[in-house]
Structure 1
C-alpha cells in the first residue's frame, strides 16, 4: 500500500497486507450440531500441487459453482449443505468435508462427509492418503447420550479412548484405529458448546489425529537405521583400538577405506533422516499443544486422549530423536578417528622424510669426501700439465741463449705451480660455498 492509498500519506511496507492476511489464512471452523465430517491428509509432491488444485476445482462444476482462479493455502467452498476446506501444507494437502444437511441414519458412521462427494472424484485424488477419518457430531441437548455398549458398537467393538474436553462441555470417543471402511472414527457429543466453540474443539481433534500420524512417519526410518547403528559402533570401536595399539603394523590404506565407507553410510543416513526427524519433532510439539488446549477431564475407566498420546506417541518420537542424535554422535566420532588417522599418516610421512634426509645427508658426506679426493687429484693433474708447459718455455728460453739452468728452473717451478693451483682451487670452492650459504639465508628469510 503506497501513500496515495491511505489518508495520512504514509508509505506502507509492500508485505504489510500479506502479513495481516497470514493471521487469518486458516480460520477455525464453525460447525453446527449435528454434523458429519470427513478428513483426508494426502501426501503429495510439490510439483503435483497445481494438478491437485485443478482436481479440487472439478468439485465446483459438480455442484454448479464457479471455481477460484488461483490456488491458496486455504480454500473453502460452500456448496449449501456441504462445506469443503482444502489446505496446503509443506508435505501434504488436507481436505475437510462437512456434511450438515442430510438426515443422519441410526448407524452413526453410515453417513459421512465423503458420502456427498462423487466417488470418481475420490478415486482420481492424487498422492497417497496418510490420514483419513470420520468425525460424527451429535447434539446431546436434544437426545440423551447412549450407554457405553452402544457407543462401543459404533467403533466395531474396539477398545475406546474417551474424555470430556473443555471442562465437560462435550464428550469425545475414539479408538485411534482403522475401521472396516479404511477410516478412523471420532464421536463427539455436544453438551453445551456454541457452533464456534465446537468448531475450534473439532479442529484441535482433527489436528491431533492427523499430526500424530505424520509425526510417526519417522519411526520406520528410525527402526531401519537402528538395526545398523550398533554394528557401525562396533566397527568404529575396532578401528579405534587398531589405531591405539602401537604394537602391530597397520594397513593404513585399508583403515582409510573402512573409515571412508563408514562416513559415506552415516552421511547418507543423515541426509535421509534429518528432515523427517525434524518434522517428527515439530508435529509432536503441535500435538502436545493441541492436547493442552482441549483441557480434558477424565472418564472413569478410560484413557484420555492426552494419556494415550503421551503413552504411545512420545516414546516413538523419542526413538526418532535418539536415532538422530546417535547418527550425529557417530558422525563426530568418525571425524575424530579420521583426524587421528590423518595425524598418523602425517607422522609416518614425516618419519619417512627424516629417513630420506638422513640418507641424503650420508650421501652428501660421501660425495664431499669424493669431491675432496677428486680435488686433490685435480690439483696434481693440473700441476703436472702446467709444469710441462713451463718446461717447454724454459727450454725455449735456454735454446735462445738465456743464462738459466734448465733442471733447476723446472724443479723450482714445481712447488710454485702446485701451490698456485691449490690456492686457486680453494678460492673457487670457497666462493661456491659462500653462494650456497647466501641462498640458504634467503630461503630462511622467506619462511
Structure 2
C-alpha cells in the first residue's frame, strides 16, 4: 500500500499499473497520405528477449533514444519515420509508418520496410508470419479511385473491396502474397480524421494478422483428420470383436491395443489443444474487428467481412471439429477400456473361483490322507510301544516276577492302542484350537 495523494488515502500498489494497462496500446494517429509496412514475427520467450536488444541496435543506428527496459508497446519516432513495436502472446509486431517521403506513382516503392537497413531485417529473430504494406491515399478532395488503376497495383489479382466507416474510406486488398513477398492494402481516405484513420488501419492490420494466426491450426487439423479416420476404424473393430464374436478373446492383446491408441490420442490432444484454442480466440478477434469496420459494399466485389466469412470460418470450423473428434475418440476409448477391465476382472474372478474349488478338493483329499496317516501313526506308535513293554515284561518274568507273560502282553496291546489314540486326538484338537484363535486375531485386525 502507498500514500500518493493529498488526501492521505492508502492506494493499492497495483492501481497505477492497472490504469496504465488500459493505455498500453494506444491507437495510431496516421495522416494521409502515408506509407506503412507491418511485420508480425513469431518468437519464443528467448527470441523475444534477444529481439529487444536487436530493436535497440536499430534505434542506435538512427540516433534515437534507447528505452531502459522492454515493455508491451514501444513507439519511437525520428524524422519522417515512426516505428511501433508491440509484444503479443505468440509474436512481436512492427509497424513502420513513413509519413514524409516523396510519394511516386507506384504506392509500394517508398514503403516502411525500404527505410530500414536490410542487414537489420535479415538478422531479426523469429519467423515472419505476416508482412504487409499499406498505402494510404488522400481522396477527400478527389474523385473516386479508378478501379483499373487500383487493380494494376495488385499485379492483376482478384480484389476484395469495401467502404468501411459508413463510406468515409475505401479499402482494397487481395489477401494474397505479392511478388515482393508481402501482402498489400490500399486505403483511400474520403472523410476521416487522422485518429479515425489510425484506428481503422489498425483494425485492418489486425484482421490480416489474426486471420493468418487462426489458420495456423488448419494444417494440424488436416493431418489429424486423416489419422483419426484410421483410429476410428481400429476402435470400431475392437468394439465389434468384443460385442459380436463368440470366440475366446485375448484380453491382454486387446488391452495393449487400446492402451497404444489412448496414448496416441493423448499425444495428439497435447499437440493440438493450444493451437485449436488459439484458432478459436483469433477467429473471435477477427469477427470483432470486422464488425467494427461498419462496411458498405462496393458494387461487384466481396467485402472484407464476406471474404472472411466464406474463407476463414470453414477453416476454423474444421479445427473445432477435429478437436471435438479427438475428445470424442478419447471418451470412446475410455468406455472400451472400462469394458475391457470389466472383462478381465470377471475372468480373474472366474479363475479365482476355479482355484478355490480346486483348493477345496485338495484340502478334502489332504484331510482324508491326514486321517489315514493318523490311523497308521497310531498303529505304528502302538506297535513300537508294545515292543518296549514286551521287553519290560520279559525282564520282569526272568527275574522271578509272578506274572503270566502272554496274558500281560495281550492286555497291554488294547491299552496301549487306546492310549496312543487318545493322545493323538488331544494333540490334533490342540492344533485346531490354535489355528482358530489365529484366524480370529487376523479378522479382528
Tell me if both proteins adopt one fold, taking TM over 0.5 as the criterion. Answer: yes
Deviations 1:256-305 (A, max 9, x none): 33223222221221121111111111101111111111111222221111
C-alpha displacement at 1:401, in angstroms?
5.0
CA–CA distance in structure 1, aligned partners of residues 182 and 325 of structure 2: 36
Aligned to 1:93: 92
Measured in 1, the distance between the counterparts of 2:420 and 2:9 equals: 101
Task: Decide whether the 8 Å contact of 2:64 with 2:76 is kept in 1.
Answer: no
2:218 aligns to what? 219
Figure out how many residues of one structure are paired with residues of the other and give that number: 445
| 1:231 aligned counterpart, secondary structure | helix
Q: Which secondary structure state, in structure 2, belongs to the residue aligned with residue 203 of structure 1?
A: helix
Shift of 1:210: 0.5
CA shift, 1:407, in A, is: 2.5
Q: Displacement of 1:397 after TM fit?
A: 4.2
> 1:227 aligns to what SS in structure 2?
helix
- 1:317 corresponds to which residue? 316
Cα deviation code 1:152-182 (max 9, x no counterpart): 1221221111111121121111111111211
Secondary structure in 2 aligned to 1:212?
Answer: helix
Displacement of 1:395 after TM fit? Answer: 3.9
Instruction: List runs of 5+ in structure 1 lacking aligned partners.
Output: none
SS at structure 2 position matched to 1:188 = strand
Residues in 2 aligned to 1:271 and 1:155: alpha-carbon distance in whole angstroms: 41
Farther off after superposition, 402-411 or 375-384: 402-411
CA shift digits 1:110-168 (9 cap, x unpaired): 32121222222222222211111111111111322322222212212211111111211
* Structure 2 runs not aligned, ≥5 long: none
Higher alpha-carbon deviation: 229-238 or 43-52: 43-52
Structure 2 SS opposite 1:97: strand
**Aligned-partner Cα distance in 2 for 1:351–1:10:** 76
For 2:372, what is the secondary structure of its paired residue? helix
Distance 1:154 1:445 in 2: 92
More off after superposition, 220-229 vs 154-163: 154-163
Aligned equivalents of 2:38 and 2:156: distance in 1? 22
Is 2:185 the partner of 1:182?
A: no
2:167 maps to what in 1? 168
Tell me the C-alpha RMSD between the 2 structures.
1.8
**Could you say which residue in structure 1 is the equivalent of 2:2?**
2
TM-score, with length taken from structure 2: 0.95
The answer for the alignment partner of 1:117 in structure 2 is 116
Which digits, 9 at most, give the CA deviation of each residue in 1:174-203, with x for residues without a partner? 111111211111111111111111111111
Please give the TM-score of this superposition, normalised by the length of structure 1.
0.95
Deviation at 1:62, TM superposition (A): 2.5
3-state SS, counterpart of residue 151 of structure 1: helix
Secondary structure of the equivalent of 1:13?
A: coil
| Helix, strand or coil at the partner of 2:157 | coil
For 1:181 and 1:216, how far apart are their aligned partners in 2? 22
